[in-house]
């Protein structure tokens, strides 16, 4: 008989299991707390459960099916985790602590590989294997907490894959993070390269987490050259969809823009971008391109970064420059490229 996987289960579901197995209902709450509040990954450690209950759980359940294969720590304290899924596929997640803040941000994956084919991204080079299940998404946070003993306070869906192409599991994982893991909606960010119909669905759901959009170019022509998705969902239509999104949800979006030298970092690009998003309720997050040997793109020059930022700010936008984290261990944006299992 296949074992029941507990991660992702609600308290009610664990209660049902306990009752069906002649345990008292209140044992379920203990198991629930061990998993979600203490991130304990072994029934033996559930010390307030009677031995017989622990034996039953060991026989009939597993906590999580994903296993931690490897952990790399960067000079800046960023940790990259390599996880192996039940079918042998590999995914990566990253844990970051930003200076002077108590926040711990985990960056998680939603797919094995990625189908979007953005020309500058290392994950794209892997191609696409499959969507992650809801529990495979959740287990990344669970295992990071179990491994480090720390509580993740912020979650960004910015790892491998396109979250909006795994829509149902994205939404159900967010529900678990909010309800079981007690992470507030506002501390969750979903990043997308712009799947228009799914952004409309998010609006209908009155999505209250932050939506970040990987724009990376100031117009459709440039965008299509580096992001094939723009041929299917054009730039102007994307901006219009985002405008309606902000109206429906009342939430500002984050425009992400990876600056690449001589590709999209000129003064003209900045002016065009400022104009394109002038009526979009948004903040801008500039990302400095992380170079990798598989790609010809380069980091922008420092002075171009500052000019670019200045032009957007002069147009009235709030602009932040994303701190580069973990690039020495290939854990920075666009560097997640775990090989699949053979
Ligand atoms: N597919 C989603 C989620 C991935 S988020 C999306 O496109 O938004 C990862 C972010 O890192 C995206 O904004 C992506 O465009 C960006 N990125 C990819 N390669 C990068 C690189 N080499 N340097 C900096 N950012 C990169």
Q: Whose CA is nearest to atom 10 of ligand 1?
A: 333
User: Of 62, 83, 101, which marks where a domain is finished?
Assistant: 62
Same structural domain, 26 and 172: no
Same structural domain, 10 and 113: no
Same structural domain, 120 and 32: no
Q: Relative to the CA of 290, which ligand 1 atom is closest?
A: 23
Residues whose beta carbon lies within 6 Å of some atom of ligand 1: 116, 118, 120-121, 158, 162, 191-193, 214, 216, 256, 258, 287, 289-290, 333-334
Q: Whose CA is nearest to atom 15 of ligand 1?
A: 214
Q: What is the CATH number of the domain that holds 31?
A: 1.10.150.530
Same structural domain, 46 and 140: no
User: Of 62, 77, 96, which marks where a domain is finished?
Assistant: 62
Give the structural domain span for 37: 4-62
CA of 163 to the centre of ligand 1 (A): 12
Same structural domain, 135 and 186: yes
Q: What is the CATH number of the domain that holds 218?
A: 3.20.20.70
Count Cβ atoms within 10 A of the Cβ of residue 59 and give its class: 0-12 exposed, 13-18 middle, 19 or more buried: exposed
Is 92 an annotated catalytic residue?
Answer: yes
Catalytic residue, candidates 92, 136, 162, 256: 92
pTM score, whole prediction = 0.95
CA of 161 to the centre of ligand 1 (A): 10
User: Residue 294's pLDDT is what?
Assistant: 74
**Rg of the chain taking only CA atoms, in angstroms:** 21
79: left (phi over 0), alpha (psi -120 to 50) or beta: beta
Same structural domain, 159 and 41: no
User: Residue 342's pLDDT is what?
Assistant: 38
Same structural domain, 318 and 277: yes
Same structural domain, 22 and 120: no
User: Residue 328's pLDDT is what?
Assistant: 86
pLDDT tens-place values along the chain, 342 residues long: 889 999 999 999 999 999 999 999 999 999 999 999 999 999 999 999 999 999 999 999 999 999 999 999 999 989 999 999 999 999 999 999 876 668 999 999 999 999 999 999 999 999 999 999 999 999 999 999 999 999 999 999 999 999 999 999 999 999 999 999 999 999 999 999 999 999 999 999 999 999 999 999 999 999 999 999 999 999 999 999 999 999 999 999 999 999 999 999 999 999 999 999 999 999 999 999 998 777 899 999 999 999 999 999 999 999 999 888 888 888 888 888 876 543
Q: Do residues 128 and 111 touch, judged by C-beta distance below 8 A?
A: yes
Same structural domain, 48 and 76: no
Is 147 an annotated catalytic residue?
Answer: no
Same structural domain, 84 and 18: no
Same structural domain, 105 and 32: no
Q: What is the dihedral of CA 298, 301, 304, 309, to 10 degrees?
A: 80
Query: Domains in the chain: how many in total?
Result: 2
Q: Whose CA is nearest to atom 1 of ligand 1?
A: 162
**Spatial separation of the C-alpha atoms in residues 212 and 61, rounded to whole Å:** 37
**Spatial separation of the C-alpha atoms in residues 186 and 191, rounded to whole Å:** 14
CA of 226 to the centre of ligand 1 (A): 12
Same structural domain, 154 and 296: yes
């Amino acid at each position: 008989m296949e074992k029941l996987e507990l991660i992702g289960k609600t308290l009610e579901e664990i209660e049902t299991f306990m009752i069906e197995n002649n345990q008292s209902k209140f044992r379920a709450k203990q198991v629930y707390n061990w998993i979600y509040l203490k991130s304990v990954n072994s029934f033996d450690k559930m010390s307030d459960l009677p031995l017989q209950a622990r034996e039953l759980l060991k026989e009939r359940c597993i906590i999580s099916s994903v296993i931690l294969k490897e952990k790399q720590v960067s000079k800046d304290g960023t940790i990259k985790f390599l996880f192996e899924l039940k079918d042998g596929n590999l995914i990566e997640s990253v844990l970051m602590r930003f200076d002077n803040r108590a926040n711990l941000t985990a960056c998680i994956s939603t797919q094995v590989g990625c189908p979007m084919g953005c020309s500058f991204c290392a994950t794209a080079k892997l191609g696409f294997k499959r969507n992650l299940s809801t529990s495979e998404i959740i287990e990344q946070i669970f295992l990071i907490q179990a491994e480090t003993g720390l509580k993740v306070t912020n979650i960004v869906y910015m790892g491998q894959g396109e979250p909006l192409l795994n829509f149902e599991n994205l939404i159900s994982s967010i529900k678990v993070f909010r309800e079981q893991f007690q992470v507030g909606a506002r501390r969750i960010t979903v990043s997308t390269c712009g799947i228009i119909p799914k952004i409309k669905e998010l609006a209908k759901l009155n999505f209250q987490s932050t939506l970040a959009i990987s724009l990376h170019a100031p117009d459709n022509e440039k965008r299509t050259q580096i992001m094939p998705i723009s041929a299917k969902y054009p730039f102007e239509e994307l901006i219009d969809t985002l405008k309606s999104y902000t109206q429906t949800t009342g939430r500002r979006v984050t425009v992400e823009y990876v600056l690449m030298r001589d590709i999209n970092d000129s003064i003209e690009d900045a002016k065009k971008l400022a104009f394109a998003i002038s009526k979009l309720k948004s903040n801008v997050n500039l990302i400095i391109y992380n170079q990798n040997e598989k790609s010809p793109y380069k980091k922008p020059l420092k002075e171009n970064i500052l000019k670019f930022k200045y032009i957007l700010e002069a147009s009235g936008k709030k602009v932040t420059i994303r701190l580069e984290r973990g690039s020495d261990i290939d854990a920075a944006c666009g560097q997640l490229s775990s090989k699949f299992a053979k």
